[in-house]
Structures are given as C-alpha cells and as structure tokens.
C-alpha cells in the first residue's frame, strides 16, 4: 500500500463539512461517527439530563468526600466490576490525564528504577505514541509491525518476547489504523499485559486472569462516558513500588490507598460512567455490546468489500479489522469526489467521518461505531454510501457526484 501523507487543508475548503463540523444544517438530526469524543447512547443522555432535574444536588457540584458522592462512587465501581467481570484482585481507579497520561503512568508505576525493560507491541498510531513517552521512564524493547511506508496493516508477532520485560504493552484497538485484537493474546512469558483499551473497553469480554492482564486503562470518551476521566484497572500485586518520580496524580498505589479520593475526582464524570454501566447491563451486558459491534461493523465492511473498489479499507485481513473504527476511502481517495461525499453526508446529518488534526487530512475517512452508535444510525450511513455509489457510477464517477 502506497502511503499518502496527510495533506494540508485546502484554503478553498470553506464548507462546514470540510472543516470538520459536527453540526449539520438546522433541523437535521446529527448522526455522529466521530472517533471521539462521541455521542452517548440515547437512553444514557436522557438519564444524564434527569440529573439536573432531580431534587438531590447534581454530582457536577457534589463534594467528592460527601456521603452522597461516596455512594455514587461505590455504585460505579460495583457496576464496572459486574459489567466487565473484573475479579476482586483488581483495583478500579478513576484518574485524570486521559490515555496520554497513562502513557507515562504505566512505566512510572511498574518500573521503579527507570532502567527496566518493557516490551512494546507497536501496531498503530497510539501504541507508537505510547512508546515515545515510555522511553523516558524505562528501556522499551520494540516489536513493531510498521511497514516501510509508515503504515500499519497487521499486528506484530507475539512470539519470542523478551522474558526479562517488566510488562508487555499493547493497544487492543488502534482507532486511526483500523486494527483490533478481538481477543487478547495469551503470551508465553510471565510479564503481565498492559492494555490501552481506550476505544474498545466494554465492547467485548476480557479474560483477565487467563491473559495475565496486569493493567488496563480506557479513557471514557469512546464507549463509557465523556472526556475528563480515565478508568484504570490494576492488579493489586503490581501496586506498592512506583518510581520515586511518579507524581501522585498518576500513582496507582497512592490512588488505590486513598480509595480514589487522593485529589478531587471528576465527580460528574464518574456518575456518567455509572449510568452507562447501568444501561449496558440492562441491555444484556458486554456480550450484547459485542454482538452489536460485530453486526454494525459487518454492515459497513460488506458494503465496502462489495463496492468493486469504489470504497476500500486498508485492512485486508478480516480477523483484525476493527469493529470500532472503520477507515475507508472514496473513489480511490479522489479528493473532489471525497468532498462531494462529505458535503452530501453532512446535509443528511452524517458527521464525524473526517476530523481535522494539526497534521491536516489523510486519504482515509473513518466511521467510528462505538456503543453509543445505534444499528439504525449505521444503517443510515450504509444507505447514504450506497446511494452515493449509485449516483457516481451513473455519472461515470464525474466531479458532479
């Protein structure tokens, strides 16, 4: 696959759809396929709105040490444990700093001397970025699947890993690259797994003990809440020996000892996670979330694969295609046709397929199908993509698509 470097924004692209707008024309209901933050499930949004109408004080301005909030915190921990079958030997923490904060927190907590080996399995943008931060606090052993052109289209080998590693780090779903581990690997070394599950946590079961999970973290803004909170699950035997350089706000030992209350926790965000977990359990739990994820992603992949090349995705192997984030191009990446696609989609309320970054825009659009995206919303996207394909073919893929 030839790499297409991100292009700068064309100064002529003044249409809201081309500027990354998530607000379609007035009166059109938005269908948000953004990679994150993303929309919450409709029922969850309704429950959150009710928090402001209730007679009790809203958690947005509850003291984190009040008995009222302590009840909310205990309920959230319990529901997370129930929803994801988290064993009792694991602590559940709610921390600050997002996934980026955990890039540093992991080695600072697990490598007290700063020169310990840690294996990094690099299979995309986020594991590569985590490696960059980790190199400041440990000695990374890198096992990468990066292609010569800088792209990622497969996973690195899980064989012959360094047995001296303090841990093995991986990202279970690479949002940018569209690569997902549908099940965690069982490695042949004693080192615990550390998992960035920011974009797929709560969408599939986890074999915590069988896969030797040591640490798993997930920023809330994909599948379990909104920005400002990171859920961290840490096996208790890994607590107690952080680096002396580890700040308290990132220290698992400190936050576990203080019961999530070492500093002011994000009280409102915690209650949103509580509501999300309650909704998820009521829907049928993590296995139902996985069933929906499989069905939603299959709908789009089938359309892409049967489009005879009009749409394409960079990941050929179905066994690693992400269920959460589907990268795809339009008409081989033709920019004019892609502009028409984005504008026409925006007019129908379909937003978030191209988000602008400091690096410009790339060849691939991306449809993100988190828990809050319904089957009906995915069907609406598939219908639009089908209609657009038919129109372009009838006009011989002209610029008037």
Domain assignment of residue 213, yes or no: yes
Domain assignment of residue 175, yes or no: yes
Domain termination site, one of 241, 260, 282: 282
Domain termination site, one of 265, 282, 299: 282
220 and 357 within one domain: no
Domain assignment of residue 191, yes or no: yes
What CATH number does the domain containing 370 carry?
A: 3.90.1150.10
Token couple for 253 = 């030992």
Domain assignment of residue 401, yes or no: no
Domain assignment of residue 400, yes or no: no
Domain that holds residue 161: 45-282
Classify 18 in phi/psi space as left (phi over 0), alpha (psi -120 to 50) or beta.
alpha
pLDDT of residue 3: 37
198 and 247 within one domain: yes
289 and 278 within one domain: no
Total number of domains in the chain = 2
196 included as an active-site residue: yes
298 and 273 within one domain: no
302 and 236 within one domain: no
136 included as an active-site residue: no
Domain assignment of residue 3, yes or no: no
343 and 210 within one domain: no
161 and 200 within one domain: yes
334 and 246 within one domain: no
111 and 243 within one domain: yes
* Active-site option among 128, 166, 196, 346: 196
CA distance 112 to 138: 9
Nearest-5° Cα angle at 355, 39 to 156: 95
187 and 95 within one domain: yes
Closest by CA position to 162, among listed 185, 189, 134: 189
What is the pLDDT tens value at each position of the chain, 401 positions in all?
333 344 444 556 789 999 999 999 999 999 999 998 999 999 999 999 999 987 888 999 999 999 999 999 999 999 999 999 999 999 999 999 999 999 999 999 999 999 999 999 999 999 999 999 999 999 999 999 999 999 999 999 999 999 999 999 999 999 999 999 999 999 989 999 999 999 999 999 999 999 999 999 999 999 999 999 999 999 999 999 999 999 999 999 999 999 999 999 999 999 999 999 999 999 999 999 999 999 999 999 999 999 999 999 999 999 999 999 999 999 999 999 999 999 999 999 999 999 876 656 778 999 999 999 999 999 999 999 999 999 998 876 455 56
Domain assignment of residue 294, yes or no: yes
What CATH number does the domain containing 57 carry?
A: 3.40.640.10
261 and 168 within one domain: yes
349 and 261 within one domain: no
Domain assignment of residue 73, yes or no: yes
* Active-site option among 222, 296, 346, 363: 222
CA distance 173 to 152: 12
* Active-site option among 126, 208, 279, 346: 126
128 included as an active-site residue: no
pLDDT of residue 54: 76
Domain termination site, one of 221, 249, 282: 282
* Angle subtended by helix axes 375-394 and 335-347, to nearest 10: 130
pLDDT of residue 196: 98
């Amino acid at each position: 696959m030839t790499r297409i470097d991100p292009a700068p924004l064309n100064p002529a692209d003044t249409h809201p759809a081309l500027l990354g707008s998530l607000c379609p024309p007035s009166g059109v209901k938005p269908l948000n396929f953004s990679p994150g933050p993303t929309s919450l499930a409709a029922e969850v949004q309704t429950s959150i709105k009710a928090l402001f109408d209730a007679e009790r004080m809203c958690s947005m301005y509850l003291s984190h040490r009040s008995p009222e909030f302590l009840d909310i915190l205990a309920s959230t921990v319990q529901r997370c444990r129930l929803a994801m079958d988290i064993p009792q030997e694991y602590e559940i923490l709610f921390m600050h700093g997002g996934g980026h904060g955990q890039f540093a927190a992991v080695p600072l907590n697990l490598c007290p001397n700063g020169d310990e080996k840690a294996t990094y399995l690099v299979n995309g943008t986020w594991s590569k970025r985590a490696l960059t931060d980790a190199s400041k606090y440990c000695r990374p052993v890198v096992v990468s699947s990066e292609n010569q052109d800088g792209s990622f289209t497969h996973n690195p080998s899980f064989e012959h890993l360094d047995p001296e590693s303090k841990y093995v780090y991986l990202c279970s779903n690479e949002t940018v690259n569209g690569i997902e581990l549908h099940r965690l690997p069982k490695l042949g070394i004693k080192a615990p797994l550390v998992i960035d599950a920011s974009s797929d946590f709560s969408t599939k079961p986890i074999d915590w003990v069988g896969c030797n999970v040591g640490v798993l973290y997930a920023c809330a803004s994909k599948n379990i809440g909104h920005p400002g909170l990171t859920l961290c699950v840490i096996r208790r035997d890994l607590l107690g020996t952080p680096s002396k350089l580890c700040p308290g706000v990132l220290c698992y030992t400190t936050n576990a000892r203080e019961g999530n209350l070492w500093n002011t926790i994000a009280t409102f965000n915690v209650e949103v996670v509580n509501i999300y977990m309650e909704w998820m359990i009521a829907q049928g739990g993590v296995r139902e979330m996985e069933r929906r994820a499989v069905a939603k992603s299959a709908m789009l992949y089938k359309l892409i694969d049967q489009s005879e090349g009009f749409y394409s995705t960079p990941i050929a192997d179905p066994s690693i295609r992400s269920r959460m984030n589907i990268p795809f191009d339009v008409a081989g990446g033709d920019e004019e046709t892609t502009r028409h696609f984005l504008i026409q989609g925006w007019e129908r309320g379909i937003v978030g397929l191209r988000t602008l970054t400091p690096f410009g825009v790339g060849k691939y659009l991306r449809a993100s199908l988190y828990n809050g995206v319904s089957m009906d919303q995915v069907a609406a996207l598939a219908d639009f993509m089908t209609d657009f394909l038919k129109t372009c073919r009838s006009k011989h893929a002209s610029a008037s698509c």
